[in-house]
Amino acid sequence: MTSVPTSPGAPHHDRPTLAVVGATGAVGTVMLSILSQHADIWGEIRLIASPRSAGKKLTVRGEEVEVVALAEEAFEGVDVAMFDVPDEVAAQWAPIAAAKGTVVVDNSAAFRMDPDVPLVVPEVNPHAARVRPRGIIANPNCTTLSMIVAVGALHAEFGLRELVVSSYQAVSGAGLAGVEALRAQLKLVAGTELGTTPGDVRRAVGDDTGPFPEPIALNVVPWAGSLMDDGWSSEELKVRNESRKILDRPDLPVSVTCVRVPVITTHSLTVHARFENEVTVDRAHEILSTAPGVVLFDNPGAGEFPTPADVVGTDPTWVGRVRRSLDDPTALELFVCGDNLRKGAALNTAQIAELVAAELRGNS
Amino acid sequence: MTSVPTSPGAPHHDRPTLAVVGATGAVGTVMLSILSQHADIWGEIRLIASPRSAGKKLTVRGEEVEVVALAEEAFEGVDVAMFDVPDEVAAQWAPIAAAKGTVVVDNSAAFRMDPDVPLVVPEVNPHAARVRPRGIIANPNCTTLSMIVAVGALHAEFGLRELVVSSYQAVSGAGLAGVEALRAQLKLVAGTELGTTPGDVRRAVGDDTGPFPEPIALNVVPWAGSLMDDGWSSEELKVRNESRKILDRPDLPVSVTCVRVPVITTHSLTVHARFENEVTVDRAHEILSTAPGVVLFDNPGAGEFPTPADVVGTDPTWVGRVRRSLDDPTALELFVCGDNLRKGAALNTAQIAELVAAELRGNS
């Protein structure tokens, strides 16, 4: 089958075949762990990576599976493929897989803003996954994903009118190199008196700051991604554009500042959300405490608010510090945490793949 | 002299006597260092602290000075006193000093919102320092001070209509105990694989998290201060109320979320500022590059944006990442850094004291 499958004409598969492309990376590793934890709906799970990783054996569902090299033949008989590879690799290989009839769920930025590729968060816009003219479904950026489930639940009730967002992004958002950079820098600054005179941390760390433009230990760095027009970073525009697309509000005002912080994993965000209608904290609490994929953890008097140290390794979007603006009864302030490798990447990709599998089996 | 002095009736002092109350604390130490660096306009500099520190010798202007105990007599002959002591100590002792004719410049929260006490930032509202019915001038909170010089310069030109602020606050904002807590926790997490499973950092750190409600190493904590009404923290309300008072805009909408980060010293803030009139980045750059007390450092293509590691130990407010909102031509996004112990506390207090000294000398 070389044409792109659409839902009505797709064959029914009792146990569809899944491929994981980029199985050896930081997100790929979490994908395999999630596949081992979730209900086992898949037939074969094929692991695909770059030729230099071919032959390596990885464990999924308790079994060792040998990694095969990325090639057109690797997609033979694959119903659904989850891609976590660099943008340019995805841009080349996702259409090749799709042309062989594979539904591609892609975690790169290559297709997210393509009008013929849906951008899906199962808790927010699951219906969008069914309309995929190119046979490709895109998974949002990890920063967008770390907040959008909570924001989407509030939007469904109150109707969003504006978002102002600041991020506190973990180093693993920049991959294993980001984690290694922070770990190495922490060894250099721990047990010292550094962090009190201009440039002392920089001198201790030296010129090799890893994937970050400045030292990240004992520091925060207001930069993520590449430079776009008018001083914006690519990461900031991703959060803006992807939020608009997921929420189906192409004209939503969204202002974002992305800042890297010395946390290993779990992105945090402050969200100032203005709605069409008046809001109350009580009603926001009700919505957030029943929204799928959200944990409300909001009782500061009892020391309850989410932090990355609590949230890392968990699936939901955690929300705390819910306050109504003192000046505007239509605005809420939130503090949101999400594991950027799980919900921010591997988990959401797996959830989309599971949506597609249910559709292919004809039972959704 | 027991009545409170007012400008017209105040005596002229060629070299007024200064007292530093709380000279042995984190901010007091920086005050002495600043007094040693600034033009030497003072006659005697008297160092005052709690009775348990009396007799200790500290260096200021290159000379050893013995600390005297806080007592009414300690203010005899003192023209200006800079206080950095807990709120309740300031509430008790500032009026005692003022009753002896001393102009008190107080860095606690005790008097900041008192309508009879001006709240002064010399670059923004120096005129306010002259009207002090209680003989007391308040110094703003360190978080407010870390951004208000930059925001005030833009306000003077464009007219503020709204502020949405998120903070990235250093641990020294919680005093030496905050610094010690982060240093101790860094030793426990450096060289480990912690930060990847729920609660692993918390278990390594144990129950003693110092002045913070959660571990601060490898973490961010969305809480500073004490719990106020409707879920707000005292720190968030300080930034809101103090910004309004300093800018003389009592009705300004201000939304703040305060978050602690693992940085030793220098608070950072993201600022979404909406103005009465249309703004341009070029004009904002012109204003910020000429505003007293501000350094514009904004060329991300060349890797130029402020970070705490660059800014710590310096006097100005550093501003970068200046962008105009993509949806609203009247709004700017900024990233601002200021040393919370210098401009955020000791420096601004010293600048106010110097304003008063100039007034007492009659040459302003």
DSSP A199-266: THHHHHH-S--TTSSS--TT--B---S-B-GGG-BHHHHHHHHHHHHHTT-TT--EEEE--B-S-SS-
Instruction: Specify burial of residue B56 (Cβ count, 10 A radius: 0-12, 13-18, 19+).
Output: middle
Contact B321 A257 (CB under 8 A): yes
Q: What is the 8-class DSSP label of residue B343?
A: I
For chain A, positions 199-238, list CB contacts with chain B under 8 A.
Answer: 199-202, 213-215, 218-223, 227, 230-233
| A43: confidence class by pLDDT, cuts 50, 70, 90 | very high
Separation between Cα atoms, residue A213 and residue B193, nearest integer Å = 23
Tokens for B279?
A: 């703004």
pLDDT at residue B254 greater than cutoff 70: yes
The predicted pLDDT at position A148 comes to 97
The predicted pLDDT at position B362 comes to 81
Percentage of chain B beyond pLDDT 90 is 93
Establish if B268 touches chain A: CB-CB under 8 angstroms.
yes
Q: How close does chain A come to B256, measured CA to CA in Å?
A: 8
The predicted pLDDT at position A362 comes to 81
Picking from A266, A70, A298, A253, the residue whose alpha carbon sits closest to that of residue A167 is: A266
Separation between Cα atoms, residue A279 and residue A261, nearest integer Å = 31
Separation between Cα atoms, residue A262 and residue B307, nearest integer Å = 13
Mutate to test the interface with B, among A163, A187, A257 (most CBs of B within 10 A): A257
| A270: confidence class by pLDDT, cuts 50, 70, 90 | very high
Picking from B79, B200, B304, B174, the residue whose alpha carbon sits closest to that of residue A313 is: B200
The predicted pLDDT at position B364 comes to 42
Model ipTM value: 0.93
Tens of pLDDT, residue by residue over B72-129, are 999 999 999 999 999 999 999 999 999 999 999 999 999 999 999 999 999 999 999 9
User: Which residues of B are part of the catalytic machinery?
Assistant: 142, 267
Tell me whether residue A26 is annotated as binding.
yes
Average pLDDT score, chain A: 94
**Secondary structure E strands in chain B:** 18-21, 45-49, 57-60, 63-66, 68-69, 80-83, 103-106, 136-138, 160-168, 254-257, 267-275, 294-296, 317-324, 331-338
Kindly identify which residue of chain B lies nearest to residue A281, measuring between CA atoms: B230
Q: How close does chain A come to B2, measured CA to CA in Å?
A: 42
Strand-pair partners of B227: B233
Establish if B26 touches chain A: CB-CB under 8 angstroms.
no
CA A148 to chain centre: 10
Mutate to test the interface with B, among A161, A251, A264 (most CBs of B within 10 A): A264
Separation between Cα atoms, residue B322 and residue B280, nearest integer Å = 10
Kindly identify which residue of chain A lies nearest to residue B251, measuring between CA atoms: A327
| Catalytic pick among A155, A258, A267, A337 | A267
H/E element, A317: strand A317-324
Contact A197 B254 (CB under 8 A): no
CA B92 to chain centre: 21
Contact A253 B325 (CB under 8 A): yes
pLDDT at residue A12 greater than cutoff 80: no
Average pLDDT, integer, range B311-328: 97
| B292: confidence class by pLDDT, cuts 50, 70, 90 | very high
What are the Cα distances from residue A363, in Å, to A81, A131, A356, A360?
A: 20, 17, 10, 8
Contact B190 A195 (CB under 8 A): no
Tens of pLDDT, residue by residue over B117-169, are 999 999 999 999 999 999 999 999 999 999 999 999 999 999 999 999 999 99
State whether residue B147 is helix, strand or coil: helix
Q: How close does chain A come to B274, measured CA to CA in Å?
A: 12
H/E element, A90: helix A87-99
Mutate to test the interface with A, among B197, B220, B237, B333 (most CBs of A within 10 A): B220
| A25: confidence class by pLDDT, cuts 50, 70, 90 | confident
Please give the residue that has the higher pLDDT: either B289 or A7.
B289
The predicted pLDDT at position A9 comes to 41
Kindly identify which residue of chain A lies nearest to residue B264, measuring between CA atoms: A195
Tens of pLDDT, residue by residue over B263-285, are 999 999 999 999 999 999 999 99
The predicted pLDDT at position B7 comes to 44
| A26: confidence class by pLDDT, cuts 50, 70, 90 | confident
Average pLDDT, integer, range A56-68: 96
Count interface pairs A-B at CB distance under 8 A: 225
Tokens for B144?
A: 């407010």
A 10 A CB-CB count for B228 gives 14
Kindly identify which residue of chain A lies nearest to residue B204, measuring between CA atoms: A309
Tell me whether residue B299 is annotated as binding.
no
Contact B186 A187 (CB under 8 A): no
Smallest Cβ–Cβ distance between A255 and the set B230, B272, B303 belongs to B272
pLDDT at residue B1 greater than cutoff 50: no
Tens of pLDDT, residue by residue over A123-175, are 999 999 999 999 999 999 999 999 999 999 999 999 999 999 999 999 999 98
Tens of pLDDT, residue by residue over B22-45, are 999 888 999 999 999 999 999 999
Average pLDDT, integer, range A340-354: 95
Contact B263 A164 (CB under 8 A): no
| B2: confidence class by pLDDT, cuts 50, 70, 90 | very low
The predicted pLDDT at position A13 comes to 61
Kindly identify which residue of chain B lies nearest to residue A216, measuring between CA atoms: B309
pLDDT at residue B4 greater than cutoff 50: no
Q: Are B93 and B21 in contact (CB under 8 A)?
A: yes
Average pLDDT, integer, range B249-274: 98
pLDDT at residue A102 greater than cutoff 90: yes
Q: Are A268 and A167 in contact (CB under 8 A)?
A: yes
Picking from B184, B189, B310, the residue whose alpha carbon sits closest to that of residue A312 is: B189
